[in-house]
Amino acid sequence: MKIYHNPNCNKSNKTLRLILANLKLHVIYIVRKTELIWKENYYYHKMKNEEIIELIINYPNLLGRTIVINDNYGVIARHPKRVLELFD
């Protein structure tokens, strides 16, 4: 399984939006909060999932975790070995 994402492609961005919108957690948990764009512009804002998803689409560096989905199971791979769960 390989996952590729092209931030310059509308369909790829739509797919990423769909994946992020269907996570069973608040999207803020996968935002890379150390990025300058986040610290300078959004750190103190209370935002809805949809707003954060749009930020991730517009600033792909904000996506701090790899998300891998296989059938009806997915992992947020903060640690790279988490993706191995998909093969159990």
Domain chopping of the chain, boundaries: 10-87
Structure tokens at 40: 């300078």
H or E stretch at 41 = helix 36-41
| Tens digit of each residue's pLDDT (9 = 90 or more) over 5-64 | 777 888 888 888 888 888 778 888 889 999 999 999 998 888 998 999 999 889 988 988
How far is it, in rounded angstroms, from Cα 81 to Cα 78?
9
Which residues are registered as beta bridge partners of 63? Answer: 31
How far is it, in rounded angstroms, from Cα 68 to Cα 65?
10
